Amino acid sequence: MLIYLTVDNQGVLKTMAKPNLILVGPANEKPTVAGNNPNGRKGNDEYREREHLLPSEVEQLIAGAKDGRWGHRDATMIRLAYHHGLRAAEVVSLAWTQINLDEGVISVKRVKGSKSGDHPLLGEELRALRRLRRENPHSQWVFVTERGAPFTTDGFSAMVRRAGERAELKLKVHPHMLRHACGYKLANDGKDTRSLQAYLGHKNIQNTVRYTELAPNRFKDFWR
């Protein structure tokens, strides 16, 4: 039972009891990610082992994509997202005007305020893209559905998830893991942080440093 103060019409201060009122905490209090959610949901660490794929897992994912109905298209989407650190929105909005098959260059248009730039295309990427162009010679978009419409980010996410299931990956795969996989791989290959920052389009270098912090080759000579 709660007691509160009130003033009557004559200005006299009185106390009143409200037996049905319940004391609650502030509305802006949020449960922490450590796992004390009153609704029973565990913290993110309980669900995610890591947020990037290893190079071998990316290859497994690509193989899983190839087993699908539109295997060549799906595998090419995954490979480009991985090699160029593309976000889902950057993959699905990729237009043929951004691809120079003669020069072997892709113009990456970044989203979320990141810096755009040109990347060289690998031989296997060029071969895959030329095949896609032959299959859809009049399309504005590089990656289209069977109806000829551009992909959506949800459609790309669903495709990646299905490829992960076919590949029997233990992790629950989502598209942004490919961007993280790119940063992890290049950092582990010894690429300097500034170059990696420019490649991924990060405005803040602190977003790039996390990949060098993950790279295990930092410690490879510690016991020699």
Instruction: List the catalytic residues.
Output: 87, 112, 176, 179, 202, 211
Tokens of residue 211, six digits:
């990949």
Distance CA 178, CA 75 (A): 12
Q: The tokens of 50 are what?
A: 């890591």
Q: Are the CB atoms for 29 and 21 separated by under 8 Å?
A: no
Q: How far is CA 191 from CA 52, 65, 207, 212, 217, in A?
A: 18, 29, 15, 9, 12
Per-residue burial over 82-118, b = 16 or more CB atoms within 10 Å of its CB, e = otherwise: bbbbbbbbbbbbbebebbeeeeeebebbbeeebeeee
Q: CA 213, CA 171: separation in Å to the nearest integer?
A: 21
Cα(139)–Cα(152) distance, integer angstroms: 16
Token pair for 58: 């990316």
